[in-house]
Amino acid sequence: MEADNLTELSKFLLLGLSDDPELQPVLFGLFLSMYLVTVLGNLLIILAVSSDSHLHTAMYFFLSNLSFVDICFISTTVPKMLVNIQARSKDISYMGCLTQVYFLMMFAGLDTFLLAVMAYDRFVAICHPLQYTVIMNPCLCGLLVLASWFVIFWFSLVHILLMKRLTFSTGTEIPHFFCVPARVLKVARSNTLLNNIVLYVATALLGVFPVAGILFSYSRIVSSLMRMSSPEGKYKAFSTCGSHLCVVSLFNGTGLGVYLSSAVTRSSQSSSTASVMYAMVTPMLNPFIYSLRNKDVKGALERLLSRADSCP
């Protein structure tokens, strides 16, 4: 096949999860249901936080931003996959693939940054409760979110600009159901050394550093809890971290699963399964974790739904 670089005719073939035609309607119904549940659940979290004055705090400000990013994250991949399943097509244009790569890197990185910021918020709330409202003021909260967007925007942009230098064969097959950056680099026909270096650096900066920040925050939280004499105080303080810990474990656990399945095994099936957990299941479960484990969010959702029921 003739190498093309950035032509309108260039396209990739996403091999998806299965070639079995009888399984396609099942996959379509399953992924459509998961997508709708994810969007609806995260929208309810955003509406509950914005409409309830009791939730106008730093913790819930970050939670609503996380819900927005989760909606964007899953919307980057699932709609195209549903269209391909319905149309029985595997095509994705070159620019469409690069767009997927860009937004995947952006929203995955934002998820990691926001989880790190939320860990810092819990650290301040538990270790410096009297200074919490002074430290976590609206100006700082907005600055932390804007800084996260700014850093991720430029890292993702640099990676995409470097990827545009590469050449690909028209009709190149990607053994996945969306354009994973590492998989796209593997099928390139030109030298990808610089791209791989940038990808590894970005993974370290956008993955390792936020996780290190989360671990540091929780080490200080545990140290502070150990100095508390009241068991009730310990339980009350740590219970505010329960939902966040569940989401952090789920997000980073599935992310690690994606990395290990790609690095250790050559099976595209196992890698795709791990990616489904990372790209679809995690954003879908986040609203349930925060609404079921957090009394404030649960109460706000109940009030929001009761107001909706009372409207004519």
What residues does each domain of the chain span? 20-295
Helix (H, G, I), strand (E, B) or coil at 221: helix
Contact 205, 155 (CB under 8 A): yes
CA distance between the termini of the chain:
62
Residue length of the chain: 312
User: In CATH, what class is 20-295?
Assistant: mainly alpha
Given this model, what pLDDT does residue 5 score? 45
**CA 170/CA 269 separation, integer angstroms:** 24
Q: What would the pLDDT profile of 127-182 be if each residue is shown by its tens digit?
A: 888 899 899 999 999 999 999 999 999 988 988 998 888 887 766 778 777 888 87
Given this model, what pLDDT does residue 118 score? 93
Bridge partners of 168? 4
Any alpha helices (H) in the chain, and if so which ranges?
24-51, 58-75, 78-87, 94-127, 132-135, 138-163, 181-186, 193-203, 209-226, 231-239, 242-263, 268-276, 282-293, 295-310
pTM of the predicted protein model: 0.88
Q: What would the pLDDT profile of 221-241 be if each residue is shown by its tens digit?
A: 888 888 877 777 677 777 778
